[in-house]
Amino acid sequence: MDESPPDPTAATVAENIRRARARRGKSTYELSALLTEAGHTVSQSALSRMERGLQRVTVSDLMALAVVLDVSPLGLLLPLGDDGAEAVDVTGGGTLPLHRAWSWAQGYEPLNPEGDPRTAAWEFRLYSLPPGLRHLPGNPYLTMEGDE
């Protein structure tokens, strides 16, 4: 168990797990049972430590929690905030406006574009999406303002 202070993203995940669980009206015992039913066992004590930032949340934990709490994985991973302009810390990305963190995580735009912004955005989207989703008609991820 890693008990070092959590980085900004780990702290956000811990808070978002607690918030989502509370909004669903579930105890950590109930959430543990739901996870077990879904095929991903996490003990009640481990969930409690995760919510306090005292235990790392694995990618598998994050995905299973998102499934049983019926939220997007991004809803656990990123700050929710009240205002898209508020500053948030993204591990490895620094401090930036909340709307930029979400836009990047959703695959809309690069976090730190280089060169021509339009080209950077297209390349980012190209490399961020699976091939089967790149050619869907009306795909909002590949439509930019001014495109016909």
25-74 pLDDT per residue, tens: 999 999 999 999 999 999 999 999 999 999 999 999 999 999 999 999 99
CATH number for the domain formed by residue range(s) 8-77: 1.10.260.40
Domain boundaries, the chain: 8-77, 87-142
What one-character-per-residue DSSP string does 54-97 give? SSPPPHHHHHHHHHHHTS-HHHHHS---S-TTSEEEETTTEEEE
At residue 124, the pLDDT reads 85
The reported pLDDT for the residue numbered 138 is 58
3-state SS class at 25: coil
Residue 32 burial (CB count, 10 A): 20
pLDDT at residue 23, as a whole number: 96
Cβ(71)–Cβ(41) below 8 Å: no
* pLDDT tens figures, 85-102: 799 999 999 999 999 999
- What percent of the chain clears pLDDT 70, i.e. is strictly above it? 84
